[in-house]
Amino acid sequence: MKKITASAPGKVILFGEHAVVYGAGAIALAINIRSFAAVHTIPEDHLLIRAQNINLSQKIPLKWESLEQQMNQSKALGPILKCCLQIFEKKMPTTGLMLDLWSDLPIGAGLGSSAATSVAILGALNAFFDLNLSHEIISSLAFQAERLVHGTPSGIDNTVSTHGGAIFFKKGLMKPLKLRSEIPILILNTNIERTTGFWVEQVRKSYREHSQVFANLFQSVDKISQKGRYLLERGNLRELGALMNTNQGILEAMGVSTPELSDIITGVRRLDIYGVKITGAGGGGCIIILCDPRKISDTERQLKQIYDIQQTTLSRKGVKIEKTIS
Ligand code: MEV
């Protein structure tokens, strides 16, 4: 039995969420927390999808119309089937298939779990059917699945998950960044549920009402990301932290930091750290903290008494094959 297992990393956005949707630069880091997809043949003429993290198990006849219908009807299956159908357009399976999905990333918490899942699925199917798709193609197919989940995404999540490492991203442009040193980050999960699509829409409404004000905020974020890129490549973590705090101020001005988030951030800022901000769409989800690498374990211990917190580092690898059984 042929079986391929692939994985793809989640991400944190160091600078530029929301503004990136309007063309500003942003910086994202792939992290060492991943989503996985395994594919193998089964005797029945079906596509069997099992997604452990969302307790989903669904059997769909391997017919184009049935797959398409499910894609349009089911919110949970939509992006998964979008990935499958884009691959089946290139190669329709001649036997039944089982697609097993699981993830170490929290769902809907700003760490790019949906993009990482799509990229892992595409990575597994790409290898399973020997399609030899480039990273650029995998990322662009994952982007189509992201559009089903988030409406009008910028493409930063699928791009960093596919390529891995640290990237400077602007719509239509991706530059891998060379880091001088490790950049250990603390991720604090507020466990406040939210959806990216909702908060992207909130910012869109505010932008419509106050176009000039918001255009200026986006421009400031663009400047922050450019400066951030320079500091990151030079390993100046202290100044990076200061810029994260400035970016957080702008996210508050955009209205995506709720009172609960702002309270947590104010508390964290009292500790001996370099910077703290929301990562991703805001409204809940995760907060990232940058501090002196020599003090990170101490800070983690202090925060662990109150919060759900973990340390992570950069994942240099994007999508990768974990295991092949032929
Ligand atoms: C999502 O990780 C970041 C947002 O900027 C949306 C996007 O870029 O697609 C909020």
Tell me the pLDDT tens digit for each residue of 76-122. Answer: 999 999 999 999 999 999 999 999 999 999 999 999 999 999 999 99
The separation between the first and the last C-alpha atoms of the chain, rounded to the nearest angstrom, is 6
pLDDT band at 150 (very low <50, low <70, confident <90, very high): confident
Closest Cα to atom 10 of ligand 1: 281
pLDDT in tens, 11-36: 999 999 999 999 999 999 999 999 99
Nearest-angstrom CA–CA distance, 293 and 291: 6
Instruction: Look at strands 46-51 and 3-15 and give their pairing.
Output: unpaired
Task: Identify the pLDDT of residue 172.
Answer: 87
Task: Identify the pLDDT of residue 151.
Answer: 86
Mean pLDDT for 207-214 is: 98
Structure tokens of 100?
A: 């097993």
Task: Identify the pLDDT of residue 278.
Answer: 97
pLDDT in tens, 42-81: 999 999 999 998 999 999 999 999 999 999 999 999 999 9
Pocket of ligand 1 contains residue 146 by CB under 6 Å: no
Q: Is the pLDDT of residue 205 over 90?
A: yes
Q: Is the pLDDT of residue 230 over 90?
A: yes
Top mutation candidate among 12, 21, 201 for ligand 1, by most atoms within 8 Å of CB = 21
Task: Identify the pLDDT of residue 181.
Answer: 83
Task: Identify the pLDDT of residue 1.
Answer: 83
Q: In sequence order, what are the residues at sequence separation of 6 or more whose Cβ sits closer than 8 angstroms to the Cβ of residue 325?
A: 1, 2, 3, 4, 40
Pocket of ligand 1 contains residue 17 by CB under 6 Å: yes
Active site residues: 157
What percent of the chain has pLDDT above 90?
A: 95
3-state secondary structure of 79: helix
3-state secondary structure of 111: coil
Nearest-angstrom CA–CA distance, 23 and 161: 20
Return the number of other C-beta atoms located less than 10 Å from residue 197's C-beta.
Answer: 15
Task: Identify the pLDDT of residue 86.
Answer: 98
Task: Identify the pLDDT of residue 309.
Answer: 97
Q: How far is CA 189 from CA 61, 207, 211, 278, in A?
A: 38, 28, 32, 10
CA dihedral 159, 86, 320, 235 (to 10 degrees): 0
Helix%, strand%, coil% for the chain, nearest 5: 45, 25, 30
pLDDT in tens, 171-201: 989 999 999 888 989 999 999 999 999 999 9
User: What is the number of alpha carbons within 13 Å of residue 243 lying toward its C-beta?
Assistant: 24
136-145, 175-184, 250-259: which range is least confident on average? Answer: 175-184
Q: What phi-psi label fits residue 164: left (phi over 0), alpha (psi between -120 and 50 degrees) or beta? A: left
Nearest-angstrom CA–CA distance, 291 and 13: 16
Pocket of ligand 1 contains residue 300 by CB under 6 Å: no
Q: Which atom of ligand 1 is nearest to the CA of 16?
A: 5
Find the 45 Cα to ligand 1 centroid distance in Å.
38
Closest Cα to atom 2 of ligand 1: 280
pTM, whole model, 2 decimals?
A: 0.97
CA-wise closest residue to 125 among 40, 190, 49: 40
Return the number of other C-beta atoms located less than 10 Å from residue 230's C-beta.
Answer: 12
